[in-house]
Structures are given as C-alpha cells and as structure tokens.
Amino acid sequence: MSESKYESKITSSPCSAAQIYRVLSNMENLERVRDMIPKDKIQELEIEPDRVRMKVDGLGQKITIAIVDRIENDTIKFGAEGVPMDANFWIQMKEVSPTDTRIKLTVKADIPFMFKFMVEKKLQQGLDQAADMLAQFPYAQWA
C-alpha cells in the first residue's frame, strides 16, 4: 500500500471562517440534516460532538469518523476507524474577507495499489462535490 493524497478544488463560501468553523467543528450539527442522509446507504447513525458512528452499506461493520484536531477558524482534521484502510481527512478554511472564505478538502489514505486506479476518479469527484456542498451551506443561519 502507498499513502495517497487527494485535494478538492478550492471553493468559496459567502460566510466568515468563524461561522463555518462553528458549524463544522461540532458534529452534533449533523442532527439538523439527519433526514437528508440516505437511509439505504447509512444506518445506525450515532452522533456526538466529536464523532459520528454509522453502519455504511457495503462495509458490513460500523465505522467512526472522529474529529482529531481543530485549529480555530482554520482547519478541522478527522480520522476514520473501522474502514478497510488507514485514512484521514481535513477541511481547510481561508478567510479572504468576512463574506468570502475559501474551502478545501484533503484526504490521505493508504489505498491498496490494485484498487487505487479504480477509486481515484470517484474519490476526486466526491471531494469536489463535497467542497461545492460545503461552500453553499447556509452557515450564517446556524452560527
């Protein structure tokens, strides 16, 4: 296995870094969008301030996504447990102005060589879609 790093495109949110950080650094905010999570893909969802546990369709076991580090208004780092490879990811925020914060997602994962070429494109697409979604989120309404 070799560790690979994937980065999303950089997106722009019309909110401040503080507003974005307050929402994303507390995983209990997922309760507000629980109904939007596809029940056929995610079951047994348990949400705590620093971690989320869930059973993901296709994995057959519960996984945990936990916040492992925070840099206020800058970076939130996550680790994954119960997944078939070592992986972590983080969200970076760079405030250009109070109404323009740039967001970038990064994933580091030990992907087995024989699977790397099968997942790279989908992983990149997923990261870019997630960055777009995070940029459009109404943080000011929740902060």
- CA end-to-end span of the chain: 41
pLDDT at 86: 84
In this prediction, residues 92-107 reach a mean pLDDT of: 97
pLDDT at 1: 57
Q: Which residues contact 138 (CB under 8 A, 6 or more apart)?
A: none
Q: Which of 14-18, 71-75, 108-112, 126-130 has the lowest mean pLDDT?
A: 108-112
What is the pTM (predicted TM-score) of this model? 0.89
User: Is 90 exceeded by the pLDDT of residue 7?
Assistant: yes
Topology given in CATH for the domain delimited by 2-142: Alpha-D-Glucose-1,6-Bisphosphate; Chain A, domain 4 (3.30.530)
| Rounded Cα gap, residues 41 and 63, in angstroms | 13
Q: Residue 112 has which token pair?
A: 């087995």
Of residues 113 and 51, which shows the higher confidence score? Answer: 51
| Rounded Cα gap, residues 26 and 21, in angstroms | 8
User: Is 80 exceeded by the pLDDT of residue 24?
Assistant: yes
64-87: pLDDT as tens digits: 999 999 999 999 999 999 887 788
Mean model confidence pLDDT for the chain: 91
| Rounded Cα gap, residues 74 and 68, in angstroms | 14
